């Protein structure tokens, strides 16, 4: 893989893990984030580049794509990974200002990423791969707050509609839906659940592996998602588009409470 890739939200968590793995596979990686210190350090460590980019701002995303074109003359992979968690609680008491802030990142940010990546890829005439981060919450209700769930469902639909238009240009658009991966976002949630600020990734993985996976004792990891992104970006996935790759240990595929029916 000697491709040029932009990863939004690439300074930490799933984005950082994917940036490292892309670089290991030979990609030239641009980390687009608002966490300047972490992003710059990571980019330097993998021989990539960093650009400050708030995906809620259309001009920032356009600038990130132009940065890739100025650096390497092309853009082959766009991983729209940046996202926020937003407000929890009853739908009857949702703070709509916070909902609008979430939408500006989780939905508008994805639209911006697809829009400008597609423009660059169409102009190059060489196609490309656009990957969007959704969530298991897009497939199964009750896993997250209403606003977050809404936004991830929108990403899934946008991925499919974009694939319909862009396939004629050789551009594949796919979605990744992680479940129970101990990113900073999930760690923050579990710290509230456990009432402790020192909850570790190991504890979260163990908790997910116990009740949030069909694979006994196995929770998800950042690396699981990174490997999925590398696959979808590669030629091996050349006939895959409009697809939602769910990385959940089978959780959203089964009514786990009915496991007793398999016992003899």
Return the pLDDT at 200. 74
Mean pLDDT of the chain: 90
Domain residue ranges in the chain: 4-180+221-249, 182-219
Write down the residue that tokens 């190059």 correspond to: 124
Question: For residues 89 and 81, which has the higher predicted lDDT (pLDDT)?
Answer: 81
Helix axes 108-124, 96-106, angle to 10 degrees: 20
Question: For residues 252 and 159, which has the higher predicted lDDT (pLDDT)?
Answer: 159
**Phi/psi at 216 (nearest 5 deg)?**
-55, 125
Minimum mean pLDDT range among 29-33, 176-180, 251-255: 251-255
| 175 within 8 A of 192, measured Cβ to Cβ | no
Check whether 121 has a pLDDT greater than 70. Answer: yes
What amino acid positions are annotated as catalytic residues? 148
Which pLDDT tens digit goes with each residue over 208-241? 666 777 777 777 889 999 999 999 999 999 999 9
Q: How far apart are CA 137 and CA 252, in angstroms?
A: 9
Check whether 155 has a pLDDT greater than 90. Answer: yes
**3 state SS of 221:** coil
| 16 within 8 A of 10, measured Cβ to Cβ | yes
Spatial CA neighbour of 222 closest among 158, 257, 176: 176
Q: How far apart are CA 127 and CA 112, in angstroms?
A: 18
Check whether 259 has a pLDDT greater than 60. Answer: no
Return the pLDDT at 260. 46
Check whether 186 has a pLDDT greater than 70. Answer: no
Write down the residue that tokens 């992003």 correspond to: 39
Q: What value does the mean pLDDT take over residues 40-53? A: 98
Pairing of strands 49-52, 244-247: unpaired
Question: For residues 31 and 254, which has the higher predicted lDDT (pLDDT)?
Answer: 31
Q: What value does the mean pLDDT take over residues 53-77? A: 98
The CATH architecture to which 4-180+221-249 belongs is: 3-Layer(aba) Sandwich (3.40)
Check whether 264 has a pLDDT greater than 60. Answer: no
Check whether 48 has a pLDDT greater than 50. Answer: yes
pTM for the structure as a whole: 0.91
| 17 within 8 A of 225, measured Cβ to Cβ | yes
Q: How far apart are CA 262 and CA 188, in angstroms?
A: 36
Return the pLDDT at 129. 98
Extended strands (E) in 36-140: 49-52, 77-80, 128-133
Check whether 100 has a pLDDT greater than 90. Answer: yes
Question: For residues 204 and 142, which has the higher predicted lDDT (pLDDT)?
Answer: 142
Q: How far apart are CA 52 and CA 113, in angstroms?
A: 14
Instruction: Take residue 225 and report the two structure tokens written for it.
Output: 């998602």
Instruction: Take residue 234 and report the two structure tokens written for it.
Output: 């590669």
Query: How many Cβ atoms from other residues are within 10 Å of residue 73's Cβ?
Result: 9
Q: What value does the mean pLDDT take over residues 82-92? A: 91
Q: What share of the chain is helix, strand, coil (3-state, %, to 5)?
A: 55, 15, 30
């Amino acid at each position: 893989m000697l491709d040029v890739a932009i990863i939004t939200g690439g300074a930490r968590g799933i984005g950082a893990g994917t940036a490292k793995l892309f670089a290991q596979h030979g990609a030239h990686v641009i980390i687009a984030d608002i966490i300047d210190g972490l992003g710059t350090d990571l980019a330097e460590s993998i021989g990539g580049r960093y650009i400050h980019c708030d995906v809620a701002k259309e001009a920032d995303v356009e600038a990130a794509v132009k940065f890739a074109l100025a650096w390497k003359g092309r853009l082959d992979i766009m991983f729209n990974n940046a996202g926020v968690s937003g407000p929890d609680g009853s739908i009857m008491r949702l703070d709509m200002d916070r909902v609008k802030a979430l939408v500006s990142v989780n939905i508008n940010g994805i639209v911006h990423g697809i829009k400008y990546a597609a423009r660059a890829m169409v102009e190059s005439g060489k196609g490309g791969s656009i990957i969007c981060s959704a969530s298991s919450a897009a497939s199964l209700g009750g896993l997250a707050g209403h606003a977050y769930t809404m936004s991830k469902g929108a990403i899934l639909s946008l991925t499919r509609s974009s694939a319909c238009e862009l396939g004629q240009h050789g551009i594949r658009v796919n979605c990744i839906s992680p479940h129970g991966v101990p990113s900073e976002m999930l760690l923050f949630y579990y710290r509230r659940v456990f009432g402790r600020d020192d909850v570790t990734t190991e504890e979260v993985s163990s908790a997910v592996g116990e009740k949030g996976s069909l694979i006994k004792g196995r929770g998800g990891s950042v690396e699981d998602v990174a490997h999925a992104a590398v696959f979808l970006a590669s030629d091996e996935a050349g006939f895959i588009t409009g697809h939602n790759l769910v990385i959940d240990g089978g959780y959203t595929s089964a009514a786990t409470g009915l496991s007793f029916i398999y016992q003899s």
